[in-house]
Amino acid sequence: MKTLLDFLRENRDVTLEEKGWGELDILLVAVLAYAPVRGFTEERGFGEFVEEILRYKPQKTDDLMTPKVKEVAKILEGAKRYEEMKIENFDDVFNDATQFGAICCRVIEAGQSVKTIGFRGTNNSVIGWIENCRVVYQYPTITHILAIEYTKLHIKRGDKRVYLAGHSKGGNLAMVAGMEAGFLRRRRIRQIYNFDGPGLRREQFYSRRFQRIRRKLKNVIPEQSVVGTLFLNKTKKVVKSNEKGVFAHYPTSWLLNKELNGFIEGEQSRLSRQLHTNTVRGLATIDREQTEIAFETIFRALETQTRKKATIGPENLLAIVKSIAGMDKKTRKYLMNVLGCLIKFK
């Protein structure tokens, strides 16, 4: 069965005049947001960007998306389809307070400029996972604010057709950036793609800000989605993957139809639906202040290693939660229910 990688191989020399900018090109931008290169603001050609990715030497601390980005770069080296693409304002922010990344890609289709802004998901850093947890009780997070400001800065007066996209946490950032965009910038946004990223808390989901982007929003999740099933969101397109469990999260595993112009749709797994139910119902029953205290207590135990790129799995969090004395019972039960679901994914 074919995937994004096959789409790129078979269309590398198909120009935008022959096949216009579409959903899979936008997914490509979301993947490129994970590129292991240093941040830059100046405009660069696609070929130069690809060369820099290919020069990168793998590190033991690389997250799982890094080798996938390199694989994409190998396929697209010298590709005619993207030879005129311009890349600028590649953000790579990583410090003790936040982990954030974004990319701005521009192509010309039928004489019109098309801009796609892609937001990066979480790497293996402790601070990245801390920010993911803070979404439970905080809005906006530091990462949200950076995404909002990035969009405000890089959707400009001359832009007529703009797409926002992201994978994993990046998908949530794309949604929030669209929600918080001003009227004129929002008019320029054609669509917003959330590729297996979390939804929103109840307060934001039922807000007027979310309703005004609802029609532009497209959510795509794999059948065994973990990240993309968290919290509230509008209807999702469920797609098949050639991977199982948590590895189905990676977009290069999602299956495409024979025409390579769309995903093969599937059915969300029982465990994925259960995780969604637990996060939504659980949040409605617990005290927000107690939840914040519980999580921040955990984070203080990790503050000396926030910039380390260490994988934090469900087993680690479960051990930390159990060690916290005096945690509110409802909060503790909520965390155990959610973490229990996560541990079942293999």
| Dihedral pair phi/psi, residue 230, rounded to 5° | -75, 135
Q: Is 84 among the domain residues?
A: yes
Amino acid (one-letter) located at 332? R
Residue identified by tokens 């946490």 is: 169
Q: Are 159 and 233 in a shared domain?
A: yes
Do 81 and 16 meet the contact criterion of CB atoms below 8 Å apart? yes
Q: Are 153 and 177 in a shared domain?
A: yes
Q: Are 309 and 249 in a shared domain?
A: no
Element counts in the chain: helices (H) and strands (E): 14, 8
Q: Are 115 and 151 in a shared domain?
A: yes
Q: Are 42 and 83 in a shared domain?
A: yes
User: What's residue 28's pLDDT?
Assistant: 98
Q: Is 274 helix (H, G, I), strand (E, B) or coil?
A: helix
Last residue of a domain, which of 255, 271, 287? 271
CA distances from 79 to 13, 46, 117 (A): 6, 9, 21
Of the pLDDT bands very low, low, confident and very high (cuts 50, 70, 90), residue 326 is low
Last residue of a domain, which of 218, 236, 271? 271
Last residue of a domain, which of 232, 251, 271? 271
pLDDT tens digits, one per residue of 74-123: 999 999 999 999 999 999 998 888 999 999 999 999 999 999 999 999 88
Domain carrying residue 107: 4-123+138-271
pTM: 0.90
Nearest CA-CA partner of 100 in 113, 118, 77: 118
Residue 191, pLDDT above cutoff 60:
yes
Share of the chain above pLDDT 70, in %: 82
Amino acid (one-letter) located at 45? G
Q: Which of 8-30 are b and which e, b meaning 16 or more Cβ less than 10 Å from the residue's Cβ?
A: beebbeeebeeeebebbbbbbbb
Residue 179, pLDDT above cutoff 50:
yes
pLDDT tens digits, one per residue of 133-155: 788 888 999 999 999 999 999 99
